[in-house]
Structure 1
Amino acid sequence: MADGGRSVLEAAWGHIPQSREATETLGAFTRTRIERVITLLVGPGCLALGAQALVAAFGPGDERAGWHVPLVLVVFLPLVAMIIACVWGRFARVFSGVFAVVYVIALVAWPFVTVGSQPVPTEEPWIFYLINVATVATVVAFPLLLQIVWTIVTPLLFGAVRLIQAGFAETFWLPVGLDVSFAIILGSVLVVLGWTYRSVAANVDETRARAVASYADAAAAAATERERVAVAALMHDSVLGALLAAERATTPRERTLAVSMAREALTRLANAEKDAWEGSDEPVDADQLADDLEAASKEMGVRLRVARSIDPDTPRVPGRVARALVLAALQAVANAVQHANAQGLAVELRGAADPGRVRVRVRDSGPGFDVERIPEDRLGIRGSILARVTAVGGRTEIESGPAGTTVTLEWESGDRW
């Protein structure tokens, strides 16, 4: 049943439009797309801030020392790799994580590589412009806890190294405090946005997965019920028909027919897992439907003649519909033989052109029964007649009383075949 359940689940997902990427990440449809949207937004945003930092790194007034160019290369090479990975959609988490770590290392080294420079309180160094780039890199690369840690610690670390570089001069406290506050606020907004979108996406995926699982359960239950009804109807139709034919067989010819029916019943049981309507669906005339019913009844050992009243313009009946009507009518005949001893058994077929309709009526004059009190497990009527005709878009009406039973099977077509 595990393989069957899996196939039903895959079929359920197949009813929802998906791309190849979503199919590979079954159950994470929205989350996958949110992650891609985040990387697409991070890439261009980091490119803009990185360009601003690069201009500042080689612009006038920046604190420079012998380690300036190597430090710029150490910081910007991982940044370029992160931007390319985010836009490309591959290895974004890896390179974003590398840049976030490298940036923190660069901050720690900042006071040492800028020894001898004279910082200006009103001018931020180029490395300041990359604080929130490092923060948003953690949104791509790290879990939420590390994102929060980076968002708080990185600006504070910048403030600490900036004050160390300036010798804790009083003129630096206010501008550094403002820079740190701004970086923490902006970084917090970015983290919250990323968490919000991911949470919404996760909830959507969870709801979607539950809906598909419910669909799969319902589809599996429906398939099981259809199979149960089909097998029960098959047993009832074929086996009962074979038994009736065997019971009534009095001549070698009738015994041969009974053996043939038994062989057919066994074959149908062996092929029960196949489509019940396999074969041609070529439309047939209403007259052919009546002929098939007469022939099938004869094989059961019941000789009857179908009374026909067929308009020449009666629409042709699709093959699967014709087969359903014949089998359902045959079951009604079998019921009449079994329960009413074929008293007053009569079958008539009417075909009307307007509206396009085919109606089969099976009557007997037996003692009748209470239609409303038919047990649920009695599939002779529920499965072999009602369910079978309903499955092809037809209607069934059963009237029964002391004067006899009448089973009416009707199918209408909107088009003319």
Structure 2
Amino acid sequence: MADTPRSVLDDAWGRIPHSRETQGDSGSFTQTRIERVLTLLVGPGALVLGAQAFAAAFGTGDEAPGWHLPMTLGVFLPLVAMIIACAVGRLARMFAGLFAVVFLVALALWPLATAGGPPPVPTENPWIFYLINIATLAAVVAFPLPAQIAWTVAAPLLFGGVRLLQAGGDPDFVLPVLLDVSFALILGSVLLTLAWMYRSVAVNVDQTRTLAVSSYAAAAAAAASEHERVAVAALMHDSVLGALLAAERATTPRERTLAVSMAREALTRLANAEKDALEGSDEPVPATRLADDIEIAARDLGVDLEVARRVEDGTPRVPGRVARALVLASMQAVANAVQHADAQGLSVQLAGYAAPGSIAVRVRDAGAGFDVDAIPADRLGIRGSIIARVSAVGGRSDIDSGAAGTTVTLEWESGDRW
């Protein structure tokens, strides 16, 4: 069988070098790489800004007594966990999201934490200010785009609000706070835009790659199918020609036996040429499987058919090749009944016998019937698709047709050579 487009696509994808984080996903090759690059960049960036904030935290704090240590530990511990996770490439999304949430909580608590503390100075920013844009980076790593935008806008604005509350609405703080908020918004917007741009480019690259590889897969599959078609045609030509030559030159019983064997193989290939998709394993199947396959195939013809089953316990399993031949021959008989008898009185019976181990399929219709002996030699619907097909697997076929209708009987015994 020719490779399917999907198998060719998988083969093509397998030729692309993979790292540990990109194996097995041909649809997000560049996206995965970009996500890894972003986390690697966020780690050092957060480390630099975090070190600045950590150094500022050792100075004179704005918090009231008892608040400084819990606030710094509560913010910096998630920050350190995020930096480590980004560096090793594991759990970065989880720890980044944790820091982003913790930071907003710390900002919301800032007025309470600074109540009763040293008076703030307009020209000096508290240590928590230096972490605003780290929160933006954390949101870029952890959240989808709408949440990233929300964090980029909310963190600076929240800082501005809590800073003015800390100053008690002192007018001297308004301009410095506006400048700080503007700076944080601009820097956060730049960081967010860069991350969005790189991710968008990665998505477009992956989509283009997928389309290109899919086009290659379709072309390769078509070429493989054509190559197989040519090879099969040449093989069938050679097998039929060889069988004819062997039959013509056969003079001894041994040569005749060989010619019969060659002819049987050629007939099998000819009979199944139009049903390549049904070729498959020769693993034996239960007798009832034939009835199921006949019903499914009949529905493809637009015939709602229920096969009557009478299978004895101990009925032998049917080899896969035999089962396919009987099903295809039965469907040819059903197709003939639909075409020539308008499916009048159409019924199919499957019988299985334990002793002797055998299978029988009977297809009946109530049409006008026909003269089997008068069928032209070039009409292969019965000779090729029924008689030859069943004979090729060691079975027997019988066609009884008259004014009362037509009965096609297909039989196979487990002791027959096939």
Contact 1:8 1:219 in 2 (8 A): yes
- Taking the TM superposition and a 5 Å limit, the aligned residue runs for 1:219-368 are 219-249=220-250, 255=256, 258-259=259-260, 261-262=262-263
Corresponding residue for residue 215 of structure 1 = 216
Contact 1:30 1:205 in 2 (8 A): yes
Corresponding residue for residue 12 of structure 2 = 12
Corresponding residue for residue 113 of structure 1 = 113
Paired with 1:135 and 1:260, the residues of 2 have a C-alpha distance of 78
- Residues 231-250 of structure 1 deviation map (CA, whole Å, 9 limit, x = unaligned): 11111111122213323546
1:69 pairs with 2:80: no
Corresponding residue for residue 56 of structure 1 = 56
RMSD across aligned positions (CA): 2.7
Using the size of structure 2 for normalisation, the TM-score is 0.60
Q: Secondary structure at the match of 1:21?
A: coil
Corresponding residue for residue 126 of structure 2 = 125
Corresponding residue for residue 341 of structure 1 = none
Corresponding residue for residue 78 of structure 1 = 78
Change (3 A) 1:82 1:59: same
Paired with 1:19 and 1:52, the residues of 2 have a C-alpha distance of 35
- Residues 295-321 of structure 1 deviation map (CA, whole Å, 9 limit, x = unaligned): xxxxxxxxxxxxxxxxxxxxxxxxxxx
- Residues 361-414 of structure 1 deviation map (CA, whole Å, 9 limit, x = unaligned): xxxxxxxxxxxxxxxxxxxxxxxxxxxxxxxxxxxxxxxxxxxxxxxxxxxxxx
5+ unaligned residues in a row in structure 1: which ranges?
A: 274-417
- Residues 312-342 of structure 1 deviation map (CA, whole Å, 9 limit, x = unaligned): xxxxxxxxxxxxxxxxxxxxxxxxxxxxxxx
- Residues 28-76 of structure 1 deviation map (CA, whole Å, 9 limit, x = unaligned): 1100010000000001110111111111011136555321110111111
Corresponding residue for residue 307 of structure 2 = none
Number of residue-to-residue matches in the alignment? 272
Change (3 A) 1:139 1:3: farther
Corresponding residue for residue 189 of structure 1 = 190
Give the letter for the 2:100 counterpart: A
Corresponding residue for residue 337 of structure 1 = none
Change (3 A) 1:111 1:55: same
Contact 1:39 1:86 in 2 (8 A): yes
Give the letter for the 1:241 counterpart: G
Paired with 1:221 and 1:130, the residues of 2 have a C-alpha distance of 58
Deviation at 1:27, TM superposition (A): 1.2
- Taking the TM superposition and a 5 Å limit, the aligned residue runs for 1:82-93 are 82-93=82-93
1:95 pairs with 2:95: yes
Corresponding residue for residue 348 of structure 1 = none
Paired with 2:39 and 2:111, the residues of 1 have a C-alpha distance of 32
Q: Secondary structure at the match of 2:236?
A: helix
1:36 pairs with 2:36: yes
Corresponding residue for residue 207 of structure 2 = 206
Using the size of structure 1 for normalisation, the TM-score is 0.60
Give the letter for the 2:190 counterpart: V
Contact 2:61 2:68 in 1 (8 A): no
Contact 1:63 1:125 in 2 (8 A): no
Corresponding residue for residue 136 of structure 1 = 137
Q: Secondary structure at the match of 2:21?
A: helix
Change (3 A) 1:33 1:103: same
Contact 1:139 1:147 in 2 (8 A): yes
- Residues 168-205 of structure 1 deviation map (CA, whole Å, 9 limit, x = unaligned): 11110111000000000000000000000000000000
Deviation at 1:144, TM superposition (A): 0.7
Paired with 1:220 and 1:58, the residues of 2 have a C-alpha distance of 67
Change (3 A) 1:253 1:110: closer
Deviation at 1:7, TM superposition (A): 2.3
- Residues 60-99 of structure 1 deviation map (CA, whole Å, 9 limit, x = unaligned): 3655532111011111111111111111101111110111
Corresponding residue for residue 45 of structure 2 = 45
Deviation at 1:129, TM superposition (A): 0.2
Give the letter for the 1:137 counterpart: A
Give the letter for the 1:109 counterpart: L
1:159 pairs with 2:160: yes
Deviates more, 1:192-201 or 1:239-248: 239-248
Deviation at 1:221, TM superposition (A): 1.6
Give the letter for the 1:47 counterpart: L
Paired with 2:59 and 2:3, the residues of 1 have a C-alpha distance of 65
Change (3 A) 1:112 1:20: closer
Deviation at 1:8, TM superposition (A): 2.1
Contact 2:63 2:115 in 1 (8 A): no
Paired with 1:137 and 1:241, the residues of 2 have a C-alpha distance of 75
Deviation at 1:165, TM superposition (A): 0.4
Contact 1:43 1:86 in 2 (8 A): yes
Give the letter for the 2:106 counterpart: A
Paired with 1:19 and 1:55, the residues of 2 have a C-alpha distance of 38
Contact 1:56 1:62 in 2 (8 A): no
Corresponding residue for residue 26 of structure 1 = 26
Contact 2:61 2:126 in 1 (8 A): no
